[in-house]
Chains A and B, each alone.
Chain A
Amino acid sequence: EAGVAQSPRYKIIEKRQSVAFWCNPISGHATLYWYQQILGQGPKLLIQFQNNGVVDDSQLPKDRFSAERLKGVDSTLKIQPAKLEDSAVYLCASRPVYANTGELFFGEGSRLTVL
């Protein structure tokens, strides 16, 4: 079974520029998450989708971050305009609906550097 796919793996931009990250979850996984991991910290949830609906976006900085999952499969996370403090690894994760242990399957992440 193919894992969670993310692209790009690395991105370097200047502050105030925009960037977009793409995620394709494991086939059949209805729930998709975007996490932000700043160096030296644990992953922090940005947004959770159930199919194409948002379950939780309480920690998403909505003035600059947006995310969508239009067809309930792949998802895009956008940052516009980027700030220096957005430098982090953006992790996409998915899980099947039937799972009840809390286990998430993570992609390799997209590392963003804002200069």
Chain B
Amino acid sequence: DQQVKQNSPSLSVQEGRISILNCDYTNSMFDYFLWYKKYPAEGPTFLISISSIKDKNEDGRFTVFLNKSAKHLSLHIVPSQPGDSAVYFCAASGGAQKLVFGQGTRLTINP
């Protein structure tokens, strides 16, 4: 049972443009949603999160949007930079405070 899904395995974006990564979930009990970034041979690093009581959270170039009725969240990166090239994981947290991860989306920023 895949509770968190990222349906796009990869995404290619031109430098300076907007990158939009999408994530869907099935469990309405999740109370926090997070995005992690992962470079090769490194562990995932936290990027940005959003509480289920909010619909938007912004941090610099990164904005996460949450649509609870659609059980959908998205990460917007603008403007995209070459250093943003990485695998991005969507994750969700419920009362047990463990994270359930999506499959990841590989983002490539082209110069």
Contact = CB atoms under 8 A, between A and B. Distances in A.
Interface residues of A, number: 26
Nearest to A55: B96
A33 interface: yes
Contact of A103 (B41, B46, B104): B46
Interface in B78-111: 89, 91-93, 96-104
Contacts of A106: 36, 43-45
Interface residues of B, number: 28
Interface in A18-75: 31, 33, 35, 40-45, 48, 55-56
A101 B34 CA distance: 8
Contacts of A112: none
B32 interface: yes
A35 B98 CA distance: 10
Nearest to A95: B97
Contact of A102 (B9, B42, B91, B103): B91
B19 interface: no
Interface of A: 4, 31, 33, 35, 40-45, 48, 55-56, 91, 93, 95, 100-109
